[in-house]
Structure formats: C-alpha cells, structure tokens
C-alpha cells in the first residue's frame, strides 16, 4: 500500500471513530474557504455497534460508533487515489446508509468539472460542492425599526420590575396567553439546528434535553452563541420564571444541535455548511424529534434535501426560514417544509406562513435579553406554535405538514394592510380542538411598526 493510500484509509477510519468531531485546523480551513472542498458519499451498509445516542455537547458517545464497511472503505480509497483527493473529514449517515466524506482536491480547487466527473462515476451516490448557509436574523441596532436600548443587551429585571413579558408584543399578536389554556407544548421535542445555545440562561434551564456540537469542541463558545440562544428563547423560554420572558411552547423540550458558527461576538450572524448541517439533520432524525427548526437559508443542496425528505418520512415536521426577499431557497423551497417569513416583510410569496419578525424580545447568553429581528425569529415562533398543536393533538392520529400548514394559514389574522398578517396560535388550536375561547389580542396595525 502506498503511503498516500495508507494516510487516506487512516483518515477515513478516524472519521468513523469520532464522527461528530471536526479535525481542528481542517475545520477552520473549511469554514474560511468552502470553495476548495467537495462532499462525496458512497454506499455504507455497516451495522451499528450500539444504538444508544449520547447526550453531551461534544456529540455522540463513543459507544455509538457506526462502523464503516469494508466495501465503503475500498470504494473511498479507490476514488481518492483515482481523482487525487485528500480526505478531510468523514462521517457515516446511517439513516441514508451512506458514508459521507469531505474531500479536498490535492492539486486544484473543487471545480465544477471535477464534481461532474464524480457525479457520473457509478461508485458515487452523491457528489456536490461544499455549500455555505447563513442564519437570518439580527440583534444589532441597525436591524431595529426603533432603537430600544442604548445597551447591547438588557440585564435581568430587578424584583420590583417584574418580568419583561409586557415587552413581548409578538406574544400578544399571536394570542399565546389564550393558546396556553389548551397547550404548552408538553411532550414535544424540537431540534434547533443552529449555533450553540446557552443552557445556563435562567429562562432555558431544564428546557434543553440534548446538546451536540458538529462544529468544534469549544464548550465555552457553545454557551456564548447568540443566534441559537435567541431561537431557543422564542420557542421555549420558561413562562413561570418571575423575571425574564415567556416562550411560545414553554413545556416543550429543546435539542440544541450546533451546526453553525457565530461570526462576531456581539451579533447573531452565523454561517453553516453542507457537512455540518447534514450531521445535525441526521442526528435529529436519530433522536426521533417531532420538529426540526431550521432558521437558516441557502442554496439547493442534494445531501441536505435527501436528509430533509428522510426526516419527513420519519414523521418529523420541518420548519424553515425564507430569505429576506421572500424567495424560496433551502429549506423553505422543499416540498412539505413549512416555510416562514416575518409579517413585516415587504415581499410575500404564496404558501409561506407569516409571524412577527421585528424587534422581538428574546434571550442573549449570560442571562440577558435583547430584541432580535428577521425570518429566523418568525420561524422559531411558528415552530413553537406547531409544538402547541402537536401537543394538543397527542394520542390521536398525527398531524402532517399539510394539515398543520392549513391550520396555520386559516388562523392568520390580517390587519389594516395585507402586509401585516400573522399566524394566531389560539385560533389554530381553537380550529383543531373545535373549542371557542380566542379573542383578537392586539390590533395588527398597532404592532406593525413595533
């Protein structure tokens, strides 16, 4: 065996041994120069050594190792040698019976011509560029319609102030208080595929049942990540906390799957790629969640599309953000994905669900609070609403995405202008249960400019 082939096989085996962990400097290089890499998959029908999933922030427990089959190992060795590729990271996607590898061409970049050749190779199930994705919200002052605080984030309110729930105009717009008479999301597991999340935040303690990191091994950064913390707070912040805010589905459980990395310490902006998102999606399927929240946007991606379809076949509801122009990209463009836009968005596309997305109060790492805007936030609100519906319908035939979309659409209130239409959680539950008891909580025109 040549030295190069030996190195390639060793890297592939290392990828199987620790599937959740990127390889240090290679991971940083992938984040900075994704155009230099490609993703490739071959058939892998290896059996699981242990079907128990780990629950640590570092990813899978070592007992949960899916072995790479000898056939897959040989295929990848031969392909790497023939096309002059260097393996950077490798991971078995068991739900698709694939061994997935990030390769870097040894002599040039991951060109369109090279990928096309691999796509026509009968040994290859999938070959594509490593693509980039972004979260779609902002908490910096420039994203706000009105500056609400000169501080970068609000500190916890003092005892004599009470909670910040009076500032949660989005909850009144969606009639969440009345919705809670029927459901608080109990028993529903929601995978938040995003950045990390601050599980030490007072409003999230006890609400995160699983944490996995598919970006790095940095636990300190995991709990400092803003975007995932903001999304988690919208969905499931502790409504019984005498201070702080209330989540839409405070009895639901969050699964924090880090697939995106934060770009700046004081802003929500984050990036992900095909490989990190694929790991997180496969993990969500394995963990048998009820809902996957994807507050990210990006290009069409064959690998991620295959995983979303597998999630849907498994009965998981996938909810994803549209872009700022209301265009249907990944994930909102995929069939049966519930696509979401903010009700304040100037561009509307039929089929998207609208929810408040401007200056929505949510959580910031370190026990703080801040206002955030964007379709990411609206997506989290819809995920919380769907959790209420699924919990209220538990024990009966499950609701599929078509039924859920219909309930959400029928509940949507239109204000003084068609531009400001938002899903109403109480109305959706009322329709589902055949029960009266909802009131219009706040005039749409009065919230449009908040």
Give catalytic residues, as residue numbers: 194, 227, 376
Cβ of 229: how many Cβ atoms within 10 Å? 31
- Backbone φ, ψ for residue 352 (5° rounding): -85, 145
Beta strand pairing status for 338-342 and 353-355? parallel
| Ramachandran bin of 141, using left for φ above 0, alpha for ψ from -120 to 50, beta for the remaining angles | alpha
The alpha carbon of 141 is separated from its chain's Cα centroid by a whole number of angstroms, namely 24
Strand order in the sheet with 260-262: 260-262, 270-273, 132-135, 296-297
Tell the burial category of 310 from Cβ atoms under 10 Å away from its Cβ (0-12, 13-18, 19+): middle
Question: 155 to each of 158, 185, 301, 368, 418, how far by Cα in Å?
Answer: 9, 27, 40, 5, 36
The alpha carbon of 403 is separated from its chain's Cα centroid by a whole number of angstroms, namely 22
Q: Are 173 and 442 in contact (CB under 8 A)?
A: yes
Tokens of 249: 């589905």
């Amino acid at each position: 065996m040549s030295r190069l082939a030996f190195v390639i096989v060793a890297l592939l085996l290392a990828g199987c041994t620790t599937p959740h962990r990127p390889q240090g400097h290679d991971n940083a290089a992938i984040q900075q120069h994704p155009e230099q890499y490609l993703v490739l998959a071959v058939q892998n029908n290896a059996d699981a050594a242990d079907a128990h999933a780990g629950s640590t922030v570092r990813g899978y427990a070592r007992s949960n190792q899916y072995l790479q089959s000898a056939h897959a190992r040989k295929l990848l060795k031969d392909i790497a040698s023939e096309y002059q590729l260097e393996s950077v990271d490798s991971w078995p996607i068991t739900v698709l019976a694939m061994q997935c590898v990030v390769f870097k061409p040894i002599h040039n970049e991951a060109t369109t011509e090279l990928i096309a050749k691999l796509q026509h190779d009968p040994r290859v199930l999938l070959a594509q560029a490593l693509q980039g994705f972004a979260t779609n919200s902002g908490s910096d002052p420039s994203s706000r319609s009105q500056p609400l605080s000169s501080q970068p984030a609000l500190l916890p309110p003092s005892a004599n102030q009470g909670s910040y729930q009076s500032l949660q105009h989005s909850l009144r717009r969606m009639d969440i208080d009345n919705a809670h008479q029927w459901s608080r999301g109990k028993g529903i597991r929601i995978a938040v595929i995003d950045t990390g999340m601050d599980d030490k935040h007072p409003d999230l303690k006890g609400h995160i049942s699983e944490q996995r990191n598919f970006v790095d091994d940095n636990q300190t950064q995991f709990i400092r990540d803003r975007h995932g913390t903001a999304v988690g707070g919208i969905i499931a912040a502790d409504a019984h906390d005498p201070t702080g805010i209330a989540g839409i589905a405070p009895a639901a459980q969050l699964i924090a799957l880090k697939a995106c990395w934060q770009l700046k310490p004081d802003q929500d902006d984050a990036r992900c790629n095909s490989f990190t998102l694929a790991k997180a999606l496969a993990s969500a399927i394995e963990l048998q969640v009820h809902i996957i929240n994807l507050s990210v946007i990006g290009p069409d991606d064959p690998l991620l599309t295959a995983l979303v379809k597998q999630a849907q076949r498994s009965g998981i509801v996938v909810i994803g953000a549209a872009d700022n122009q209301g265009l249907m990209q990944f994930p909102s463009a995929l069939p049966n994905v519930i696509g979401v836009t903010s009700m304040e968005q100037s561009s509307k596309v039929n089929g998207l669900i609208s929810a408040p997305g401007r200056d929505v109060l949510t959580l910031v790492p370190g026990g703080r609070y801040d206002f955030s805007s964007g379709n990411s936030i609206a997506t989290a609100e819809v995920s919380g609403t769907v959790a209420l519906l699924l919990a209220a319908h538990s024990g009966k035939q499950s609701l599929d995405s078509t039924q859920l979309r219909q309930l959400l659409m029928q509940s949507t209130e239109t204000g003084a202008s068609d531009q400001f239409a938002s899903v109403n959680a109480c109305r959706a539950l009322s329709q589902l249960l055949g029960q009266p008891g909802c009131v219009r909580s706040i005039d749409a025109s009065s919230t449009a400019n908040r």
